[in-house]
Structure 1
């Protein structure tokens, strides 16, 4: 496996197992929007996530992981997350290079592919009220459920100690 080849869901699950982090994954048809994924709610308990891949003018990259129905004010969120300027969405090429995923599959679990530490991960305070957090395991045709505290342990183990901040309205 080369450095640039994104890791797979199976690699992610092995990594979680190596950390003794309990996780469960449910496969489903690919979902690209929150609306499409809402059909899965009855089957998968916990907080469901929406992930925004953004950057500031100095090319600092962030993944904002929030509850799926929450809104993020992109005009002001930079003040909360410590960006140098207003943020805009990151380009798909950078998403693939840093997190190993394509648009529609942005996930907090992408930290696993960011071996260069290029991205800061921000978890919304409201999302972290859930005991279980759900995210795509590097592709949007499955949902992986993990404990809130284990998600933080996972991020720390990938070298991405997360910022837990109030980033939603």
Structure 2
């Protein structure tokens, strides 16, 4: 797969945070994070050989739009969850159901491309255009850490679930917790 050029600014000319900026921000806010470098991965299946041994919950992420084009959604679930977009659409009230959003929209709204979707990218959603759906087990399951990409798919970060929730809330996003 070809490398995606991520624009350095959004339409309102603000700089989008990348890997180093997001790691610095997490540390600045006092969160205890671990960073694990690995080859680029584009699926959960190809990622797990590199990080599957780490204690905690591993995630997979989806960037979605509703069919009526009225809303954008980022969804984070445990890596091994079956996802039924029709059922989830009804639970969150997405007009017309949820569909995968185009990569150009991801780049514009959260500053990441295909294969790099991460809830940490909500940091770049300064206008709060994206709603966040979160598997409740990630926060409430008693996990030591939760793992996701830090804006790139060549690394994984581990963060305590309570710190992750605090970070997401610091971006102005309130997770919609769903039981899967």
* TM-score between the two structures when normalised by the length of structure 2: 0.86
Q: Are positions 1:15 and 2:25 aligned together?
A: yes
Please identify, of 17-26 and 2-11, the stretch whose mean Cα deviation from structure 2 is larger.
2-11
Alignment of 1:20-35 (within 5 A): 20-35=30-45
1:39 pairs with one of 49, 58, 76 = 49
How many equivalent pairs are there? 167
1:59 deviation in Å?
2.7
Q: Within 1, Cα distance between the matches of 2:151 and 2:42?
A: 13
Structure 2 alignment gaps of length 5 or more: 1-7
Runs of 4+ in 1 over 3 A off after TM superposition: 1-5
Aligned match of 2:61: 51
Is residue 134–residue 145 contact of structure 1 (8 Å, CA) maintained in 2? yes
Work out whether residues 27 and 142 of structure 1, in 8 Å CA contact, stay in contact via their aligned partners in 2.
Answer: yes
Paired residue for 1:94, among 105, 108, 113?
105
What's the Cα RMSD here?
1.5
Q: Which runs of 5+ in 1 are unaligned?
A: none
Q: Does structure 1 residue 63 correspond to structure 2 residue 63? A: no
TM-score by length of 1: 0.92
Alpha carbons 2:63, 2:72 under 8 Å: kept: yes
* SS of equivalent to 2:86: coil
Contact 2:60 2:79 in 1 (8 A): yes
